Amino acid sequence: MAFLRDRFAPIKLPDDEHVILRKRESLRSRGLAWLGGVVIIVMLLAVCVTLWAIEKIDIGIVTTGINSSVILLGFSLIPTLGILLYMWGNGTYRLGDRSIRKASKERKNADLIQAGGKPNDGEWLVLNQITGVEIASSLPAKMFSLGNIVLSTNTEPRAMVIHGVERPQYWESEINRHIRLAHARARAGTTEPEDLTKYTEIRRSGAWLMLKWLLPILILLPGSVVAWVTLRLGGPIQNSTGLIFFSILTGLVFVAFAILWLVSFLRWWLKLYYVTDRRVIQRRGLLDVRRHALMLDEVVSTTVERSGVGRFIDVGNVKVMTAGLSGAVYMESVSAPDFVRQQILETQEIARRQRDQLEMAEITQRLTATLHLNSRHPAG
């Protein structure tokens, strides 16, 4: 049991070491391989169901059903893409130095405010009015590092909800930081108008929208097309022999993909990258477990590599290198690689400042002790 616990337990850290960032390989890249296997199995199942329906049900009813499904799924693809594009654009918010506002309604509400009115609910919030910032996330969304940011005021518990953002913990801390700065400006009596051209954009995850709404169509459409082709084929395939053959083939493919999916999932799950306030840690391996850690003060460079589709879906490799014999940690296919690099550099800078402060405090303490000793025992 100890052997299994050592292989499958997450990385154990000392109580005084805090995790800054935890990453796995992005499901945007790994999930494409899993999705391909699902599509293949759905296509084989569509062949089996079509052959069974040809034998058991009237051919006219089967033809009408398959043709309807192909036409319905094919024509629903473009409208669905348009709806997703609208939801993605409408879910963009802009975080300024005094307010947070919906980008699609920004100009309209800005004109309304200048005219002395109030913007519509959920579209514009002054940072001084926000009393709570929380993260609401379901279990599937947590696997993709997604969540909703809920902003509350004294009069409205859910005054604004920013849906489906990536790295919700980061945005929670960023909004809280802007709120503290807004309160500091208010205490200082700064009354300058807000510059709406300076903002940080919070964008809804397009990958999550596609996963929720477009993925079923992308899986069912190839199956419907294969069923339509099977229906049009004549001869020996449309009999009991063809049904038995494709049933056995589907079962074998399903077993093969189930084994591959299980191994692939375990490798993905057990391949972890940690950034703590002291180290950068890599853990990988299913049976042959390998752990590699670099001290932050040994890191001399952190580079980001993107290639192919990763340039468009914000997935890339992060290479953390040292100048000595400690080697390097190579984070493969992680989402938001620039953010990972920024977190490593910021954590390294904070650790350096803390080390300098401790050294200065130690020097000050020694000087104080020396002066105190000299004052008690003056020379001569």
pLDDT at 4 (0 to 100) = 47
Decide: 278 and 295 in contact? Cβ < 8 Å. yes
Query: Which CATH architecture fits 92-203?
Result: Roll (2.30)
- Residue 235 — very low, low, confident or very high, per pLDDT cuts 50/70/90? very low
Long-range CB contacts (< 8 A, 24+ apart) of 182-191? 182/97, 182/98, 182/126, 182/127, 182/128, 183/127, 183/128, 185/97, 185/98, 186/128
* pLDDT per residue as tens digits for the range 250-274: 888 888 888 888 888 888 888 888 8
pLDDT band at 240 (very low <50, low <70, confident <90, very high): low
In the three-class reduction of DSSP (H, G, I as helix; E, B as strand; rest coil), residue 1 is classed as coil
Q: How far is C-alpha 81 from the geometric centre of its chain's CA atoms?
A: 21
At 349-375, the pLDDT tens digits run: 888 888 878 878 888 888 877 777 666
Q: What confidence tens digit (pLDDT) does each residue in 100-117 have? A: 888 877 666 666 666 555
pLDDT for residue 118: 65
CATH code, residues 2-24+271-364? 2.30.29.30
2-24+271-364 and 92-203: identical CATH topology: yes
Q: Where are the domains of the chain?
A: 2-24+271-364, 27-88+208-269, 92-203
Token readout for 144 is 């993709």
Distances (CA, A) of 343 to 173, 279, 284, 296: 13, 12, 22, 12
51 has a pLDDT exceeding 60: yes
- pLDDT, one tens digit per residue, over 32-49 is 778 888 888 888 888 888
Contacts 24+ apart (CB under 8 A), 61-64: 62/231, 63/231
